[in-house]
Amino acid sequence: MANVAADVSFRLSSARFQPGKPIPHENARSHENLSPFLEWTEPPAGTKSFALILEDISAPERALRMWAVYDIPPKHRHLPDGRSSKAGTEALPHGINDFGHAHYDGPDLRLGGPPHTYRFRLFALDVPTLGLTTAPMAGRVLEEAKAHALAEADLTATDH
């Protein structure tokens, strides 16, 4: 990562769910599949853009990347409800998730079994754009975000 310092003041949260608690049904792929409202605190000095990645970190082989939004302008402090479900969030660029979609795909609440943990990762970046081609894979967005990160904030949720 690029000069990443432990910045405990940079935080990501949602008014829709508490950290480590179940994600609401409307945010589940098996229900309405609406991206949740997310907001964050003031980023570190020098932040020129943001990137957001959602991963299922309980997936059996490797983290399943379910959402990637990048080149979020530095003035933003939130992403509204449902703006990335089968449509771009305020025309922000999206990476292709592991389901093959360039939009948000939430947890599947029909799966049963042990709870899965979902991690929303927000990167404060030192560049105004990641310079990625149209619709890169979410993994590529994550690699580039890590390479340019000034700080990272995260928020976890479960499926039950």
Which residue segments constitute the domains of the chain, with CATH numbers given? 12-111+136-158 (3.90.280.10)
Q: Quick one: pLDDT at residue 89?
A: 47
Q: Quick one: pLDDT at residue 60?
A: 81
d(CA 160, CA 158): 6
* 82-106 burial: b if 16+ Cβ within 10 Å, else e: bbbbeeebeebbbbbbbeebbbbbb
Q: Residues in the chain with pLDDT < 50?
A: 1, 3, 88-89
Nearest to 50 by CA among 92, 88, 113: 92
Q: Quick one: pLDDT at residue 11?
A: 97
d(CA 119, CA 87): 21
Q: Quick one: pLDDT at residue 7?
A: 62
Q: Quick one: pLDDT at residue 133?
A: 83
d(CA 115, CA 43): 31
Q: Quick one: pLDDT at residue 94?
A: 93
pTM, 2 dp: 0.91
Q: Quick one: pLDDT at residue 86?
A: 57
Query: What is the phi/psi pair of residue 157, to 5°?
Result: -145, 165
Q: Quick one: pLDDT at residue 126?
A: 98
